[in-house]
Copies of this chain bind each other. A is one copy, B any other.
Amino acid sequence: MSAYDDLMAFQRETEALAQVAGRLGWDQETMMPAGAAEQRSEEMAAMESVLHARRTDPKLHDWLGLIDDLTLDPVGQANMRHIRRRYARTMKVPAKLASEIARVTSVAQGVWARARASEDFAAFAPTLEKVVKLRQEEAAALAEGSDLYDALLDDYEPGATAAGLEAMFGALRPRLVALREKILHAPHQPLPLTGEFPEAGQLTLSRELALAFGYDLNHGRIDKAVHPFSSGSGLDVRITTRTNPADPFNCFYSTIHEVGHAAYEQAIDRAYLLTPLGAGVSMGVHESQSRSYENQLGRSRAFTGFLYGRMRDTFGDFGISDAESFYASVNRVHPGYIRTEADEVQYNLHVLMRFDLERALIDGSLKVADLPTAWNSRFEADFGVKVDKPSNGCLQDVHWSVGLFGYFPTYTLGNVYAGCLTKAMRVALPDLDSALARGDTSPATDWLREKLQQHGGLHEPRDTVRRACGFEPDEGPLLDYLEAKFGAIYQF
């Protein structure tokens, strides 16, 4: 056995344990009896302690010193890139700081949830200050003199920089704000969906949609949970969904979104199972898949025509008389405060403001105490509406409470990548719409699988998208797609 083989055997066991820990998380959201919470937190802590011990094991240091990456094949070199990056990251952060971050963020989520429920930002501010300070310290340890925010971003999107994203987002913002204005002032406004849609029908149809988008139930399962999510890699990738009798689109499109994440994991080359290459390569690339499935495919005119028929089969007449009106209703843009409920146009405006605010929090130019004011004035500038209460403003997202700084921009980066992938895919598949109109997504999902998904972590994130598209990704295709799509729906 070479040092590389020993390292990979050790790594394989670590990846298997990480899958077990992840499945505990799935169980907690879907199956765990309520009274088990206290014991579960000890079980999770024990798993984390085992994983941490393995990630800082002195054997890793020895192996990394013995291995000459240049003697390895491209797969071996990619494995070493991931392992070296993670090891360096782990070792740069003092153990005391890491455990303090774990301790504070484990409590902070509860503080945030209570503050949001009571519309009381002041109750959350001291906790958020602690979290910001700890993440600043961690960023300083990681950055070693370079940009603090870039150091945090690296956890979610290796290779991305705040400067690069700022340029991209700067180009997005004015065209999105203008598009939003034109849409909301268009004389022709689509009807919202109304009525009641029984849960059983929603669950049956959402399962059909999951299968239509290529979700493999032999290596996954669908359960109900409070929040939709996808969990696991390799041969066991599970998703959840939820229902709301008044809003079947929430069930259907969150299912398709999670199938995008899960199908990516399921499609990765089996040779990479339980190795660093055996999972989606970054948050941005992951989101490019879930958003392509949900929006560019699932909310297309062609696919909504199929969905319209299936909804009428399932629920009978629900007051929308033709497929064209249904398409407009699915894609209806309306004013709203909440990111997770936003349409394709306004969603990115939400992300852009969080990106700017969280960079200012991390570089210290924005104090936590001033966050509500900064949030509310930016919101009014971009959305034309005053924020009415903290739960509709800066208390709406869980992310910052659990220390996720640098995560938000990957949502819009994923949309930008989805725009690029769709542009390339539409050129490669000129007849795609005729398949989508029959509910057959396979030309598109096969294309994504072959061009991108199968490679897992083999290439760097941006390179993964560039290779699939055949061109350097930028924000142009997403903007062109949004302007064309919504211009047609809103007839301007």
- Which A residues form the contact surface with B (CB < 8 A)? 12-13, 16-17, 19-20, 23-24, 27, 31-40, 42-43, 45-47, 49-50, 216-221, 234-236, 238, 273-274
Copies of the polypeptide in the assembly: 2
Query: Are A47 and B236 CB-contacts (below 8 A) given A27-B23, A219-B35, A221-B31?
Result: no
Query: Are A36 and B274 CB-contacts (below 8 A) given A20-B47, A46-B17, A47-B17?
Result: no
By the criterion CB–CB under 8 Å, are A24 and B20 in contact? yes
The 9 closest A-B pairs by CB, nearest first: A36-B236, A35-B218, A16-B46, A39-B235, A35-B219, A13-B46, A36-B235, A16-B43, A16-B42
Shortest distance from the beta carbon of A90 to any chain B beta carbon, whole Å: 19
By the criterion CB–CB under 8 Å, are A34 and B236 in contact? no
By the criterion CB–CB under 8 Å, are A12 and B218 in contact? no
Shortest distance from the beta carbon of A36 to any chain B beta carbon, whole Å: 4
Q: Which residues of B contact A33 (CB under 8 A)?
A: 217-221, 235-236, 238
Q: Which residues of B contact A50 (CB under 8 A)?
A: 17, 50
Query: Are A42 and B274 CB-contacts (below 8 A) given A32-B236, A47-B17, A236-B33?
Result: yes
* Cα A34 to Cα B220 with chains together (Å): 9
- Secondary structure of the A side of the interface? helix
* Cα A35 to Cα B237 with chains together (Å): 10
By the criterion CB–CB under 8 Å, are A35 and B274 in contact? no
Shortest distance from the beta carbon of A51 to any chain B beta carbon, whole Å: 10
Q: Chain B: which residue is nearest A273 at the CB level?
A: B39
Q: Which residues of B contact A24 (CB under 8 A)?
A: 20, 23
- Can you list 13 A-B pairs with a CB-CB distance of less than 8 A? A16-B43, A17-B43, A17-B50, A20-B43, A20-B46, A23-B24, A33-B218, A35-B218, A35-B235, A35-B236, A37-B235, A40-B236, A42-B274
Shortest distance from the beta carbon of A102 to any chain B beta carbon, whole Å: 15
Q: Which residues of B contact A218 (CB under 8 A)?
A: 33-35
Q: Chain B: which residue is nearest A219 at the CB level?
A: B35
Query: Are A39 and B20 CB-contacts (below 8 A) given A27-B27, A236-B33?
Result: no
Shortest distance from the beta carbon of A235 to any chain B beta carbon, whole Å: 4
Shortest distance from the beta carbon of A38 to any chain B beta carbon, whole Å: 6
By the criterion CB–CB under 8 Å, are A235 and B38 in contact? yes
Shortest distance from the beta carbon of A239 to any chain B beta carbon, whole Å: 11
Residue from the list B19, B27, B43 in contact with A43, Cβ < 8 A: B19
* Cα A12 to Cα B43 with chains together (Å): 10
Residue from the list B17, B31, B46, B234 in contact with A31, Cβ < 8 A: B31
Q: Chain B: which residue is nearest A34 at the CB level?
A: B218
Residue from the list B13, B42, B43, B45 in contact with A49, Cβ < 8 A: B13
Q: Chain B: which residue is nearest A50 at the CB level?
A: B50
Q: Which residues of B contact A220 (CB under 8 A)?
A: 33
* Cα A478 to Cα B131 with chains together (Å): 63
Q: Which residues of B contact A39 (CB under 8 A)?
A: 16, 19, 234-236, 273-274
Shortest distance from the beta carbon of A317 to any chain B beta carbon, whole Å: 31
Q: Which residues of B contact A216 (CB under 8 A)?
A: 35
Shortest distance from the beta carbon of A255 to any chain B beta carbon, whole Å: 17
Shortest distance from the beta carbon of A195 to any chain B beta carbon, whole Å: 29
* Cα A50 to Cα B234 with chains together (Å): 21
* Cα A46 to Cα B16 with chains together (Å): 7
Q: Which residues of B contact A49 (CB under 8 A)?
A: 13
Shortest distance from the beta carbon of A86 to any chain B beta carbon, whole Å: 18
Q: Chain B: which residue is nearest A217 at the CB level?
A: B33
Q: Chain B: which residue is nearest A20 at the CB level?
A: B43
Q: Chain B: which residue is nearest A19 at the CB level?
A: B43
Q: Chain B: which residue is nearest A23 at the CB level?
A: B27
* Cα A49 to Cα B127 with chains together (Å): 39
* Cα A27 to Cα B32 with chains together (Å): 11
Q: Which residues of B contact A34 (CB under 8 A)?
A: 218
* Cα A27 to Cα B20 with chains together (Å): 11
* Cα A274 to Cα B39 with chains together (Å): 8
Q: Chain B: which residue is nearest A278 at the CB level?
A: B39
Q: Chain B: which residue is nearest A234 at the CB level?
A: B39
